[in-house]
Chain A
Amino acid sequence: MSTIAQPFDFTQQQVFTKQRGLWSQAFMRLRQNRLAVISGAILGFILLLSILAEAVPAVRRYDYDENDYSVIDQKPSMDHFMGTDNLGRDMWSRLLQGTLFSLKIGFLAEAVVVTLGISFGMLAALGGKKTDQVVVWITDMAYAFPDLLMIILFRQVLFGRDWPIIGAGDPQVPGFSGVLLATVLAISFVSWVTVCRLVRGQILSLKESDYVMAARCVGASQWRIVRSHMLPNTLSTVIVAVTFGIPTRIFAEAALGFIGLSVPAPFASLGTLVNDGYAKIYTNNLLVIWPCIMIAVLMLCFTFLGDGLRDALDPRTRK
């Protein structure tokens, strides 16, 4: 059947195409990136598994500090999925406990980093010339410090005090012990400057953009411009920075653990597990291999997810 094309026919077609916003489009693009989806799924699985292991005894099967001297340095078996260490502790439960600890540090430290970074970045970009100079000077100074050495020093300063919430005492926030919070603060105090620079640069360039000027012309208030025009446009940069930031924080904590400055025994973090295992590499190499694999998997997954998010959120890199 032949139909004669009517004027405004195309509008009818448009009615049926679903309208997609920025986030919906970004999510669609992310879904097409197979590697990023798989990485995200693996990360979700690891996170879920480690939380379940903390909550449900049936998942962790043994306690992380439960010694059984009749099964020392066992190879993986049905009783102990990943074998046991030199004190007869189950590696499966220790690895999951350490993973959860490291993930907590990664997420929490990154949250502090992003909060500090966005606040100071916006302060620098919008607070006038004097404020800008001060913030830029502080970030320049932070770059002069050797990162990991400063984290070590900060950690020693914060740790072992009777401070409220952080410090060595019993966990006052359930699930977040004092040493965890001290490590988180030490890592974030050193690392926030990168996000700060990023946000400052982004907002400075947005300030000159046409649509901000247009908004100003129609009389939008400063706060409205910042909230509904500038912040959403820095968000994609920040999200990508967060995805790459979390593994960096996990890495920093693991480096602390590797030199013996993370959680005290019997607790485990991925870094302390590597450290403990490395000392016994000649007798039982599985002890070091499991946590190494876990760190490598976490790092890889966050990298792939970050790559995927960057491609998805930045329409300019669309192929």
Chain B
Amino acid sequence: MVGYTIRRFLALIPLLFAVVTITFFLMHAVQGGPFDSDRPLTENTRARLEEKYNLDGSLGEQYVYYLRNLGRGDLGISFSNDRPVRDIIADRFPVSLHLGLYAFVFALSMGLVLGVVAALHQNGRWDYATVFISTVGAALPPFILAPFLVWGFALKLDWFNVLSSDYGPISVLDWSWVWHDLTHMRQIVLPTVALGFLPAAFIARVTRASMLDVLRQDYIRTARSKGLDHFRVVMRHAIRNALIPVLTIAGPIFAGLITGSFIIERAFSIPGLGRSFIESVVNRDYGVIMGTTVFFAVIISVMNLVVDLAYAIVDPRIRL
């Protein structure tokens, strides 16, 4: 197990190296440079700027330079506002994390509850409701759901406020955001639901299927025939095994929610990292493109690794 973990962590290094290389050359293949604008710069200014940001060398030299800096933990400087990329990520990522975390909690709790209840009452009213929600939910990506939610709940019913979606940065050192969120529920609910509904539908579907499968197993019948009450059979014997497939999808879903929330960030004007990535691609802001991609790639690969390890821990049949 320990050996496997170490091996997997070491395998991340060439993987991330490849991610850095591919992104670097892709990004430089985008038409135009970071200093192209409607008003052309003078030759002199351009040369000074390129010298300042180390863009004056050949592509190979820039690549080596970037790798050397990356090895020291330096992600470079943003060209559009002259700030270190590390600071931009440190500023923007907690906002994305905040939104993603809420959406994940929402998706997980709604998905699990619906899935389990549906499986316990197969072909009952709740089951049909769950199948309906998970089917319709799969057809409603965030950017479809967002306009409907805004129109219905914010404009018609005026329950929520969407003009200032107030997701502050989240932190483990300073817990004041908890109080802030509790008092700003009107701004927080809609983006969370819009982002979390699709994964909730997916989790509900998977939970229902795996729960139905587990409930048909022999050991559930054994547990019942031992005389255990319904609650204990469900909680102790059924759910714990039914959660294993959910665990495998929960990791990628979490990574997807915190890295892929830029649509919701745009729809609700939330200043997260996804939005700054799109701005940076349009502006050819090389430092931010690289920094964000590498940062997200690290998150996604580590999440995948964590899921594989967690899988081995909860399912003793799997030997690593």
- B300 to A292, Cβ gap below 8 A? no
Please give the number of chain A residues whose Cβ is less than 8 angstroms from any Cβ of chain B in the complex.
Answer: 41
Does residue B15 face the partner (Cβ distance < 8 Å to A)? yes
Interface residues of A, dominant DSSP: helix
Does residue A277 face the partner (Cβ distance < 8 Å to B)? yes
C-alpha gap A290/B20 in the complex (Å): 41
C-alpha gap A300/B136 in the complex (Å): 7
Given contacts A144-B297, A156-B30, contact A292 B144 (CB under 8 A): yes
* Binary B-proximity of A135-165 (CB < 8 A = 1, otherwise 0): 0000011011111111011101101110000
- B29 to A255, Cβ gap below 8 A? no
Name the contact of B148 in the complex, choosing from A145, A146, A292 (C-beta under 8 A): A292
- A258 to B155, Cβ gap below 8 A? no
- A299 to B296, Cβ gap below 8 A? no
- A274 to B292, Cβ gap below 8 A? no
Contacts of A292 in B (CB 8 A): 144, 147-148
Does residue A259 face the partner (Cβ distance < 8 Å to B)? yes
Does residue A16 face the partner (Cβ distance < 8 Å to B)? no
Contacts of A160 in B (CB 8 A): 31-32
C-alpha gap A261/B26 in the complex (Å): 17
Does residue B281 face the partner (Cβ distance < 8 Å to A)? yes
- B15 to A144, Cβ gap below 8 A? yes
Contacts of A157 in B (CB 8 A): 26, 29-31
User: Looking at the complex, which of A74-82, A84-92, A231-239, A278-286 is the stretch in contact with chain B?
Assistant: A278-286
Nearest chain B CB to A74 CB, angstrom units? 19
Closest partner residue, chain A, to B136 (CB atom) = A300
Does residue A105 face the partner (Cβ distance < 8 Å to B)? no
Name the contact of B297 in the complex, choosing from A146, A255, A278 (C-beta under 8 A): A146
Closest partner residue, chain B, to A250 (CB atom) = B141
Contacts of B296 in A (CB 8 A): 146, 149
Closest partner residue, chain B, to A277 (CB atom) = B147
Closest partner residue, chain A, to B162 (CB atom) = A281
Does residue A254 face the partner (Cβ distance < 8 Å to B)? yes
Does residue A242 face the partner (Cβ distance < 8 Å to B)? no
- A154 to B147, Cβ gap below 8 A? no
Within 8 A of B (CB), among A248-267: 251, 254-255, 258-259, 261
- B289 to A258, Cβ gap below 8 A? no
Nearest chain B CB to A105 CB, angstrom units? 15
- A144 to B16, Cβ gap below 8 A? yes
- A299 to B15, Cβ gap below 8 A? no
- B304 to A143, Cβ gap below 8 A? yes
Chain B interface residues (CB < 8 Å from chain A): 15-16, 18-19, 23, 26-27, 29-32, 135-136, 138-141, 143-144, 146-148, 150-151, 155, 259-260, 262-263, 266-267, 274, 277-278, 281-282, 289, 292-293, 296-297, 300-301, 304
Q: 6 A–B contact pairs at CB < 8 A?
A: A146-B297, A153-B26, A156-B30, A292-B147, A296-B139, A304-B135
Chain A interface residues (CB < 8 Å from chain B): 140-141, 143-150, 152-154, 156-157, 159-161, 247, 251, 254-255, 258-259, 261, 271, 274, 277-278, 281-282, 285, 288-289, 292, 295-296, 299-300, 303-304
